[in-house]
Structures are given as C-alpha cells and as structure tokens.
A and B are shown apart, each in its own frame.
Chain A
Amino acid sequence: MPARRPRMGAGADGRQRERGRGERTDMPVITYREAVTQALTEALDSDERVFIMGEDVGGYGGSYAVTKGMLAKYGPKRIRETPIAESVFVGAGAGAAMAGLKPVVEIMTINFSILAMDQIVNHAAKVRYMSGGQLSSGVIMRTVTGGGAGLAATHSQSLEPWYAHVPGIWVVTPATPYDALGLLREAFTKDDPVLFSEHALIYRLRGEVPEEHYTVPFGQAAISRRGSDVTLVAYSRMVHVALDAAQMLANQGVEAEVIDLRTLRPLDMETVFQSVRKTNRVAVVEEAWRTGGFAAEIASQIQEACFDYLDGPVARIGGEDVPQPYAINLERATIPDAKKVVNELAKVIGLKVTA
C-alpha cells in the first residue's frame, strides 16, 4: 500500500525536478493529509478572506480529517458546516469568490461533485469569459478521488478528466506531500476555480517537505524517476503505481522514466515530449476509465508532437470500463497496478519484460 512507501525526497523544485525515493535528508517528513491541512492553516492564518465550508468540515473535522480541530481554532464563521447540498455550497463558494473572498469548499468526494456540476461547469468556469473579464470566481474546490477502498461503484470514481475537459477550471492532482502543500499554496494565488483532487488512499503517505516556503507552479510536470528506456506518464496515486512498475522494470534491466503531471489543466506536455524523444516508448497510466480518459488526450498529443520518435504505439493503462465492484478481488482487477503496467508494456509496446 502507498502508505508504507519509503519517504520520498522533495528534491529541487522546477521543471526537471527529479524525486528520488528512500532518500534520507534533514527535511521534515509529513503526511499527504498534513500537507493539505498545513496549506489550509497557512491560508486561514494569513488571509482573512479565506474560509472553509462543506459537509462535516466542522465538529467532525472533515470526513478525511483534513480540517480536524479547525472549528475550535477558527470558529464557525470561517469553518462553516453546510447542509448536504453540494450545488448550493459549491455555488455559494463560487458566488462569494466573485465578491472577492477566498472560499475553500470541501466536496466530500469527487463522486458528489456531480451534484454540483451545474455550478462548477456552467457558472464558476464560465463567469470570467462570459463577463468579458469583469468577474472571476477563484473558489478552491477540494475533493477526494479514487477507488480501491471497498466502497463500490458510486464512491470509487476518478472524475478529474471530466473537469480537465472544461476550459476555465484548474485541475490539480497531487501525488506527494511535497506537491499537495506546494500546489495548494499555489491554488490560493489563483483567481479562477481550482478543482484540487486529493487521492483517498495516499492521505497517510509520508514525504519530505522543505521548511522554507515554496510553491509548486501549475503546469509543470515533475520527473519522479529518471530513465532512458521507456516513459511512464501518470498523475495522482498512479504515480506510485508507475514508480512500482519502474522498480519491476529496473530489476529486468529496463530503465523507466516516470513523469508526474501534477496538474491536468494546465497541462505540461513539453516535459513529456522531451522524455519521449529520449526513450522512444511511452505509456500513460491513470485510474480513470480508459475509454475517453485523460490518457487519450496525452496519447494524442504525444503522437502529434513525437510521431517520428516513437518505436511503438502509445500504451494507455486505465481503469477497467466497469462500475467499480465491491468484492476485493474484482475491485483490484479494475485498478491499474504495477503488474498490469508491466504486462501492458510487453503487450502493447513489445518490451521484453514480464510482471
């Protein structure tokens, strides 16, 4: 499980940042959950315009414990318990942001964001453009994504690609504590809506973060592991699956480069292209359904820009095209894992590797 993964080095920030695994440094180590909490706390402390609202963010402390203790510390004006009414509390966040405030709405899981889709897609994402730039809605929509927790079909979806399809929304998909903190800090500087998607299964993932203040810019992918034989592109928890696959490949003498997109909109394809021009082979790994998934977008852009560099088709490894089942063996079969990644590399690209 990702929570037992070795500490991840933060490395130097920047486009070509390489993140080693198992490094030991003097940097503080925090969990992914603590990283999100820290970014929120900093914002609440430094900016009166910031407040948090959502279901169970108050006394309960957030259904994933991100806002634990905040109600006592900041009071009910800034930590606002809402009814189970996604459309109005997300829309109210969008409206309050239009009036110059900096609301953070917590949508308990991305599955429930569907109930607020009118506000997110039809209004928050559109208002800057359709007002000719007069208004903007910099609401931060934190939500929890992904499957694998035994919650079955309605609670296990990875819907980030839906939102990344829509112009006007930033879509942020951190895979590490370093990025969760840096990207959420960055989100507070944006005047347009941000869908900040936290993966449920990596809240306990530990990683190093520098003590000095840093942010992670939107639209800069990270190189999570360097390699020269094949490129694995991933985001959110699938970055760790790709890293596991890279380890399996390394054991067979194949060096994989793992690229963490970090944000889907804006999308940094240049880092991907540079890697593909070097490795000539590429697979995209995501948890979202394969059909119409975001990997299709990545694959398409790769073939447009790197056609002559490719030694084989661009492989797409995504979630099985089924509603996620409950039974654990079936559930596991729907979500890509390292074995599946390696098998697909053999099958689609013809790498001589076995899982």
Chain B
Amino acid sequence: MANGKKAGSQKTAARVTKAEGLELYRIMKQIRVFEEASASQYMRGRIRGFLHLYIGEEAIAAGAIPLLAKQDYITTHYRDHGHALARGMSPNAAMAELFGRATGSSKGKGGSMHLIDANIGMMGGYAIVGGQLPLGVGLALANNYKGNDSIVLTFLGDGALSEGEFHEAMNLAAIWKLPIIFFCENNLYGMGAPVSEVFAVKDIYKIAEPYGIPSLQVDGMDVLAVRDAMRDVVRHVRQGNGPYFVEALAYRFRGHSMADPNEYRNKAEEEFWKQRDPITSFRAYLVNELGVAEADIDALDQEVDAEIEAAVKFAEESPEPDLSELHTDITA
C-alpha cells in the first residue's frame, strides 16, 4: 500500500452482507448505549473519578477491532470502553468495573480508564498519555520473538502524538519491523487543546513517513471506510511487513470527560460533526443500500437497550470488593 494514502468512504467501500452490516451496527449501538448509560450513572454518583465517553467515535472501534484474530492484542488509552466492548468484553463486567464492583473486569481495582480482559487480548487501557505505546511495542516484540503471526492494535489519541513515547515507539517498531498498528483516533482536541495548535505536523498521517512506516488517513465517522482500510492494514502487518500507522478523523460528541464543561469548541463545529453521526448514517445505509428492514434494526436497538439496562442492574446488584482484596494481586 502506498504511503500516505487517503482511504475511501462508505460510498466506495466494499459492500457488506446484511448480517455483517447488522453486526457492525450492533457494536456501535452497544457502545453508544453503554456510554449513555455510563453518563447517566455518573450523574447519579454511582460511577466515580473520570469518565471519558466514546460517543461519536464508535465507527472506529466497530470498523477496526472485529478484524483482529482471537490471539491478537489491543492496548489503548483511557477512552477505552468502546475498544473493550468491540473486542468482546461483556457489558456486565465493563459496567461493574465502572461501578467499582467485585464482578468488574478487574474486580473493581482498575476503573473506567483501565479496562482489561486478558482472555480476549484486551491488554488494557493505560491512562498516562502515550504509555500504551511502548507496551504495545513490547507485545508486538513478543509475537515477533515467538515467531507467530499475531499482531497488536494500539490506539492513541491525537494528544499522544506530541509525547516522546510515541516517537520512541514508532522508531523501535520500525527498525525491528514489529507487527503493530498504531491507530491514531484524531478527534481534533487533546483534552481542550486543538491538535492544530499543539502539533507541528499538519497532515498527521504523514508523521509515519520519515520512520518508513506506511500510513493512511480514513474517515473515522464511517464504519465501512474504517473496516475497508483496516482489512488491508491488518493483512499487511500480519504478513510480517512491519508496523502501520492509521489516522482516523473523528469527533467526540461530549466533552473530554464528564468533568469537562466543553467550552472550547464552537456550536457550529459540533453541529457539523453531529450531522455525521456514524450510527445514524450507517443505519440509513443499512436501510437504503442493503435493504435491511427498519423493524429489524428497531429490534436490534431494543436488544441492545435491554442488554445495557441489564448491565447496569448487574453492576448495581453486585457487591463491592471485599476489603481483603486490598492486598491481593500485589506481591512486590
């Protein structure tokens, strides 16, 4: 694949079957409803700390993550709910973790920013910006060392581009030709700072070029565009050709976290992006292009609503971790 290629769109993407399309829709919808429920539970004081919502960016997780094989790894940042769910973490375990309950994915010890499920290769949200990158490189090194064809998908936000760890990770992955995809979710703001003001490289996907890492830019609001681009990227990396860098342009519809009054973005910009809601547009695509019945989608919506409602109930009814857990899972 050519370096610095811009990927196609929903219009030009390879068609998916109805079943595939519905599955992509289900993943996006599950993330959306999960996040809305999280926000609502946060407002009720049942979820503590920081809560970074993935609302608006669902097409990325749904487009990219299902293309991974079972033995592949993911490392990511603190806005990690969407990645965990798309990888197959149960909404019950995820919601219970947000509630800080014993039944959570990390028994309530990790919280929203550190969703981990080793059984499905969800190796973690790491909440220090850039920290997940060297770890992802290490997992890719392990694959390479073991001689298997597993790959690593490591997400970063645009904010991490300025971190030294990003450049160190790109360099090491490049010189050792490691099987890792650096996937930059460019939602235009690193917390409140516009990426255009704080990062010198204007076309972000071109940052890969001096490292000799192929890259592309894709519309992160378009699940089929992401899926199409990533299918080739995953194949390229799995075949042992070394790392890849992907930039997806996206937008978070809410503030940086629930604590963010969101005063640095203008309404026109927000409206522009909300018009491009990845779920609404893909729903229209399912109906208009694939001929899926509205009723089938409504039924799926109801299924997802019920699933997340059940997850909230599960979390509510789950016990807090026993105090004896304070000193477990630590040896050193």
Q: Which of B53-61, B79-87, B138-146, B305-313 contacts A (4 or more CB under 8 A)?
A: B138-146
Q: List 11 A-B contacts (CB under 8 A).
A: A88-B133, A88-B165, A88-B172, A91-B131, A98-B123, A99-B139, A118-B128, A129-B329, A130-B109, A131-B114, A194-B332
Q: Which of A88, A122, A132 interacts with B105 by CB under 8 Å?
A: A132
Q: Which of A91, A132, A192 interacts with B107 by CB under 8 Å?
A: A132
Residue interface mask B87-113, A partner, CB < 8 A = 1: 000000000000000001111111000
Question: Tally of A-B residue pairs with Cβ under 8 A?
Answer: 147
Contact B165 A91 (CB under 8 A): yes
A90 shortest CB reach to chain B, Å: 7
List CB contacts (< 8 Å) of A92-138 with chain B. Answer: 92-101, 103, 118-119, 122-123, 125, 127-135
Residue interface mask B130-168, A partner, CB < 8 A = 1: 110111111111110110000000000000000011001
Q: Which of A13-21, A163-171, A343-351 contacts B (4 or more CB under 8 A)?
A: A163-171
Number of interface residues of B (CB under 8 A): 45
Number of interface residues of A (CB under 8 A): 46
**Considering the chains assembled together, what is the distance between the CA atoms of A127 and B169 in angstroms?**
19
Contact A96 B331 (CB under 8 A): no
Given A91-B135, A167-B332, does the pair A99, B73 have CB atoms closer than 8 Å?
yes
Given A94-B135, A122-B131, does the pair A129, B109 have CB atoms closer than 8 Å?
yes
With both beta carbons as reference points, the residue of chain A lying nearest to B105 in the complex is identified as: A132
In the complex, which residues of chain B have a beta carbon less than 8 angstroms from the beta carbon of A192? Answer: 331-332
Given A134-B106, A191-B331, 6 further pairs, Cβ under 8 A? A87-B134, A95-B138, A118-B130, A127-B124, A130-B109, A170-B332
Contact B134 A91 (CB under 8 A): yes
Q: Which of A83, A127, A135, A190 interacts with B171 by CB under 8 Å?
A: A83
B69 at the interface (CB under 8 A from A): no
Residues of chain A touching chain B, judged by Cβ–Cβ distance below 8 Å, are 51, 77, 82-83, 85, 87-101, 103, 118-119, 122-123, 125, 127-135, 167-170, 190-194, 265-266
In the complex, which residues of chain B have a beta carbon less than 8 angstroms from the beta carbon of A82? Answer: 172
**Considering the chains assembled together, what is the distance between the CA atoms of A98 and B145 in angstroms?**
13
Contact B332 A193 (CB under 8 A): yes
A251 shortest CB reach to chain B, Å: 41
**Considering the chains assembled together, what is the distance between the CA atoms of A191 and B164 in angstroms?**
28
**Considering the chains assembled together, what is the distance between the CA atoms of A103 and B138 in angstroms?**
10
Q: Closest 10 interchain pairs by CB?
A: A95-B138, A91-B134, A99-B142, A88-B168, A132-B106, A132-B107, A92-B138, A133-B329, A95-B135, A85-B168
Q: Which of B73, B146, B175 interacts with A83 by CB under 8 Å?
A: B175
In the complex, which residues of chain A have a beta carbon less than 8 angstroms from the beta carbon of B141? Answer: 92, 95-96
